Amino acid sequence: MSEDRPFIGQEAVWQEWLSATASERMHHAWLLAGPKGLGKRAFARAAAAVLVNRTGGRTADIAAHPDIHLLEHLPANEDEAKKKAEGKPYQTRRNITVDQVREMIRRLATMPTLGDRRAIIVDPADDMEKSAVNALLKALEEPPAGTYFLLIAHQPGRLLPTIRSRCRVLRFATLSPEELDAVIRRDVPQADAQTRAAAIAASNGSPGVALSFVEQELSGLHRLMSRILHEGDADFRLRGALAEEMGLRPTRERLAATLELARSVLVAELPIASRAQQLRIIKAHGTLAKLGMQAPTYNFDAGLLILEIGGLLASAAMPREAAR
């Protein structure tokens, strides 16, 4: 992370946070809102470090710091927990559970360990079980002194209005092409100009999508996705090519990046689509969002998943007779 530009494209949000931490009447709950891939996870961890350290520094060992508590998806079972401990890819549970929230609340009965502030990060808050949401609401209503909540939300509308009403919102914006280029140059300096340009065009303003595009080499998939969306795929030929481009044994990271890329392709088409096609795009995007949430939890057959993605893109394509 660059020291002079810690969050490219989100400098205003970062400055708002720094100003808040210096205030004597800082709000106790914050909602980090915006589409997935805008850097909210890294921001929350750096923001928590600033909060508990009371300095402008942005470094802290989140896992080890006694005054930073992280609620995120746990490993699915003991075997997956061992994989996590070994630094290997692992499957997670589908939701953040009520037991996790209750354990966090029990910790709040004690004072912060190293200072007078503690940070609670919920990542993401829109993946909490219903009972977990209700338990968190009680903590938000009567927070202990010195306790501050950072709730990451990719889809804030999924949270209860009573949760949202108790939070001050930090809205994360999509990045300009120039800002995206700076992110890629910083994080993947070996990427050439042509690759950067393709990643920027495919990302729809999301640095997460742009970086995955470069790291997972998704240019071939992007070209095929765009063709399916614009031409349809009545004979399944393009979907076959999409599966071939995906590969026989793609990594979980490549699968996740492909799902995000497909969503980005749909979103980019939305402003120029007809009303009828917009409805089809919105429906396909909703299904892709559900698949994206399920993918880390379930072992999908990669071939069937990529065909499902291609089918959703084809379902959103302009009908041939309308295109003529």
CATH number assigned to the domain covering 11-171: 3.40.50.300
DSSP character at residue 125 = G
What residue type is 132 in one-letter code? A
Q: At what angle do helices 98-107 and 130-141 cross, to 10 degrees?
A: 20
For 52-83, the DSSP string reads: HHTSS-----TTT-TTEEEEEPPBSSHHHHHH
DSSP character at residue 157 = G
- pLDDT, tens digit (0-9, with 9 covering 90-100), for 273-292: 999 999 999 999 999 988 88
Instruction: Specify the pLDDT at position 3.
Output: 42
* Residue 208 near residue 235 (C-beta atoms within 8 A): no
Q: Do you know the residue count of the chain?
A: 324
Q: What six digits make up the tokens of 190?
A: 């070996």
Residues of the chain short of pLDDT 70, as ranges, are 1-6, 54-63, 295-299, 319-324
The CB-side HSE value for 306 (13 A sphere, CA atoms) comes to: 26
Start-to-end CA span in the chain (Å): 49
Instruction: Specify the pLDDT at position 6.
Output: 62
**pTM (two decimals):** 0.83
- pLDDT, tens digit (0-9, with 9 covering 90-100), for 197-246: 999 999 999 999 999 999 999 999 999 999 999 999 999 999 999 999 99
**Domain residue limits, the chain:** 11-171, 216-323
